[in-house]
């Protein structure tokens, strides 16, 4: 196992769902596994649950620049800085909030450099197995 992806739905599919991913070994990071896994996962969530894409959020440590950039590539924008937890909240199809002061986060994010991935076009055909307990 390389890692896992999760979705937390504290109030059901009618409200926000928090996405997260973990790639366990540093050796397996930055090889495209996270983009691939999240693309399939997000496509599945929005077509099979169905969870509206705009209800997808991610909460990421402010120091975890690679994860922030990953979610940016997938179409998420920073909407909040939760200082007490030192994390940012990102939401799908949102731009960085205009009134958000990110200067104290040392985030060197250049939206022009981020190459986006349109996971909504990711086909699930032949890529999902069945679980039979």
Residue 3 has a pLDDT of 92
Structural domain harbouring 62: 3-121
Give me the number of domains the chain comprises: 1
In a domain, 15, yes or no: yes
In a domain, 128, yes or no: no
In a domain, 127, yes or no: no
In a domain, 7, yes or no: yes
In a domain, 98, yes or no: yes
CA dist., res. 121 & res. 34, Å (int) = 17
In a domain, 133, yes or no: no
Q: Which residues sit opposite 91 in a β-bridge?
A: 57, 77
In a domain, 126, yes or no: no
Q: What are phi and psi of 94, to 5 degrees?
A: -120, 145
Which pTM value belongs to this model? 0.82
For 38-71, the pLDDT digits (tens) are 999 999 888 888 889 999 999 999 999 899 989 9
Domain of 47, CATH number, reads 3.40.630.30
Sign of CA pseudo-dihedral 92, 42, 7, 111 = negative
For 67-88, the pLDDT digits (tens) are 998 998 899 989 998 889 999 9
């Amino acid at each position: 196992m390389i890692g896992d992806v999760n979705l937390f739905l504290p109030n059901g599919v009618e409200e926000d769902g928090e996405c997260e991913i973990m790639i366990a070994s540093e050796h397996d990071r930055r090889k495209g596994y996270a983009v691939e896994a999240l693309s399939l996962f997000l496509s599945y969530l929005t077509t099979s649950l169905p969870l509206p894409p705009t209800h997808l959020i991610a909460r990421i440590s402010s120091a975890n620049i690679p994860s922030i950039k990953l979610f940016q590539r997938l179409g998420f924008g920073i909407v909040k800085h939760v200082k007490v937890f030192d994390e940012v909240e990102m939401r799908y199809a949102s731009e960085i909030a205009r009134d958000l002061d990110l200067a104290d986060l040392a985030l060197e994010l250049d939206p022009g450099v981020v190459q986006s991935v349109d996971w909504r076009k990711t086909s699930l055909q032949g890529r999902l197995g069945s679980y039979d307990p």
